Amino acid sequence: MPYQTKPYPEWSWSLSRDQMFHACKRQYFYHYYASHGGWLLSAPPDAQTTYRLKKLTNLYLVLGDAVHTAAQKLITLREQNRTYPTKEQIVTYIRGALNTAYQDSKKKAEWWGYPKQYTMLHEMYYGGELPRERVEAVGNRIAVCAEHLLMSESWREIRDADNITILEVEKLNDFIVNDKKIYVKLDALYRRGDGTYVIADWKTGKVAEKNEEQLRLYALYLHEYYGVPLTHIEVRTEYLLDGFCMRSVLTEEDVDIIRHKISASVRSMESYLDDTYYNRPLPIERFAGAGETSVCGMCNFRQVCTEKQ
């Protein structure tokens, strides 16, 4: 019997979904609805195209993914009691990941046929070549992020302390808030010998206000999923570009803020559904485009969007 998919995707909520919803409703529609089922050869051409556009990435995202993979590998080596790489080896790995993405992006036909096996850079897909200034900007971050990863407070504690228990590393997980499935993916979660649970989040970009919401969500997840008192949770944001760690111990007021945000966000998203049970969206015309160059310029769906700048 051939594989069949549901006509509409399963409903879930995440912070990235909320951010896209508020940035551009049209982009949100393409990403979460129009692309659904597009991985199937039997899917309509529009769905296949939109699904492939959804898979586009960019240089900054590839850099971030490579650094997070390097951090994950460090923790794995710690668990296996093996030798850690040097800064130079991590730099080589990150450069290799970026170069692979660049080489993959030259193979448009192969990527179109196998979008999960190949990487396609947004810059290459729409521009044909990598902008020199962006290559230089990303290149300048590689050694800095590698060095600061090895010097980060969280990694040094994981590496050196004897009483550390690793609980999660780059694991997609979900929990329930008000009967809604909420997705989270923590960079690292570990428990110290004193009973403190530490959530470590490595960032390769600059300090952003939206990171505060992420901290609240992670603390809520740990509080709800593991049943850990908030007083026993420490959240760390390791800003690798600037080389400093921001520590937070969140309060009931903080998690109430994120609970309220989730509820309000879900209500807003559901107002764009024709049927909440099946997660069937309203017609695409109801999802207005942002109409802003700052949003449209880096949107994956420029090729198919009727409201692009």
309 pLDDT above the threshold of 50: no
Residue length, the chain? 309
Label the pairing between strands 197-203 and 233-239: parallel
Do residues 81 and 147 share a domain? yes
Dihedral sign for Cα 62, 66, 69, 75, please: negative
Give the Å distances, CA to CA, from 83 to 73, 74, 78, 93, 222: 11, 9, 8, 16, 31
Give the model's confidence band at 1: pLDDT under 50 very low, under 70 low, under 90 confident, else very high. very low
30 within domain boundaries: no
52 within domain boundaries: no
What is the chain's mean pLDDT, rounded? Answer: 94
CATH number at residue 220: 3.90.320.10
Burial class (CB in 10 A: 0-12, 13-18, 19+), 81: exposed
Residue ranges of the alpha helices (H) in the chain?
Answer: 15-23, 25-29, 45-54, 59-79, 87-105, 108-113, 122-127, 132-151, 153-160, 210-225, 252-270, 293-296
**Which residue segment(s) compose the domain that 216 sits in?**
157-262
Q: How many CA atoms lie within 13 A of 16 on its CB side?
A: 5
Cα-flanking dihedrals φ and ψ of residue 98, to 5°? -65, -40
For 8, the token pair is 């509409």
211 within domain boundaries: yes
Cα-flanking dihedrals φ and ψ of residue 25, to 5°? -65, -35
For 221, the token pair is 């997840």
Q: Report, as an integer, the average pLDDT of 31-48.
A: 95
Give the model's confidence band at 294: pLDDT under 50 very low, under 70 low, under 90 confident, else very high. confident
What does the pLDDT look like over 151-183, one tens digit per residue? 999 999 999 998 999 999 999 999 999 999 999
CA–CA separation, 28 and 139 (whole Å): 31
37 pLDDT above the threshold of 60: yes
CA–CA separation, 74 and 80 (whole Å): 10
Please count the structural domains in the chain. Answer: 2
Do residues 255 and 191 share a domain? yes
Cα-flanking dihedrals φ and ψ of residue 209, to 5°? -65, -30
Instruction: Examine the fold and report which residue of 151, 168, 201 is the final residue of a domain before the chain moves on.
Output: 151
Give the Å distances, CA to CA, from 285 to 33, 57, 218, 303, 307: 13, 26, 35, 17, 10
CA–CA separation, 144 and 124 (whole Å): 25
What does the pLDDT look like over 101-155, one tens digit per residue? 999 999 999 999 999 999 999 999 999 999 999 999 999 999 999 999 999 999 9
CB atoms within 10 A of CB 43: 17
What does the pLDDT look like over 188-241, one tens digit per residue? 999 999 999 999 999 999 887 677 889 899 999 999 999 999 999 999 999 999
| Per-residue pLDDT at 209 | 66
Instruction: Tell me which amino acid residue 185 is.
Output: K
Q: What is the pTM of this model?
A: 0.94
CA–CA separation, 230 and 209 (whole Å): 21
Shortest CA distance to 240 belongs to which of 147, 150, 148? 148
For 180, the token pair is 């809604």
Cα-flanking dihedrals φ and ψ of residue 233, to 5°? -115, 130
294 within domain boundaries: no
Q: Report, as an integer, the average pLDDT of 89-111.
A: 97
Do residues 240 and 213 share a domain? yes
Do residues 169 and 136 share a domain? no
Dihedral angle, C-alpha 252, 234, 17, 10, nearest 10 °: -80
| Per-residue pLDDT at 231 | 94
Do residues 168 and 143 share a domain? no
279: left (phi over 0), alpha (psi -120 to 50) or beta: left
86 within domain boundaries: yes
Q: What share of the chain is helix, strand, coil (3-state, %, to 5)?
A: 50, 15, 35
Instruction: Examine the fold and report which residue of 83, 116, 151 is the final residue of a domain before the chain moves on.
Output: 151
CA–CA separation, 94 and 97 (whole Å): 5
What does the pLDDT look like over 63-74, one tens digit per residue? 999 999 999 999
